[in-house]
């Protein structure tokens, strides 16, 4: 397919560059909620620091793991036709 290399290409998605020529102002958010403005090599608005799970209480750590890795869905039971009286539906059969 045809790729257009003009100014509209960057407006649709992110810039496709390996290295950026300057540093960009970025807001860094720490795990405690504090924010710091710094200069970063890529044009982003917000950077978030990862949360250290070893410092959390046990109940909150388990709750985060449950949200992150949900349990597997339970298998559904198959329908059986044991309890259905077929004589009631005899009028719908074609002869």
Mean pLDDT of 46-73: 87
Q: How confident is the model at residue 10 (pLDDT cuts 50, 70, 90)?
A: low
Residue 48's SS3 state is strand
pLDDT in tens, 80-89: 777 788 888 8
Residue 52 is predicted with a pLDDT of 82
Mean pLDDT of 46-62: 87
Sort strands 46-48 and 35-40 into parallel, antiparallel or unpaired. unpaired
Nearest to 29 by CA among 53, 44, 50, 52: 50
Residue 25 is predicted with a pLDDT of 93
> Model-level pTM?
0.42
On whether the CB atoms of residues 40 and 26 are closer than 8 A, the answer is: yes
Among 11-20, 58-67, 79-88, the range scoring the smallest mean pLDDT is 11-20
Sign of CA dihedral 38, 42, 43, 46: negative
Nearest to 36 by CA among 21, 51, 24, 48: 48
Residue 1 has pLDDT above 60, yes or no: no
């Amino acid at each position: 397919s045809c790729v257009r290399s003009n100014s509209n290409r960057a407006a649709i998605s992110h810039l496709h560059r390996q290295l950026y020529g300057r540093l960009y102002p970025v807001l860094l958010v720490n795990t405690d909620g504090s924010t710091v403005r710094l200069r970063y090599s890529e044009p982003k608005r917000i950077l978030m620091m990862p949360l250290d799970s070893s410092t959390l209480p046990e109940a909150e750590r388990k709750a985060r793991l449950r949200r992150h890795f949900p349990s597997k869905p339970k298998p559904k039971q198959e329908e059986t036709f044991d309890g259905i009286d077929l004589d009631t539906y005899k009028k719908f059969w074609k002869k």
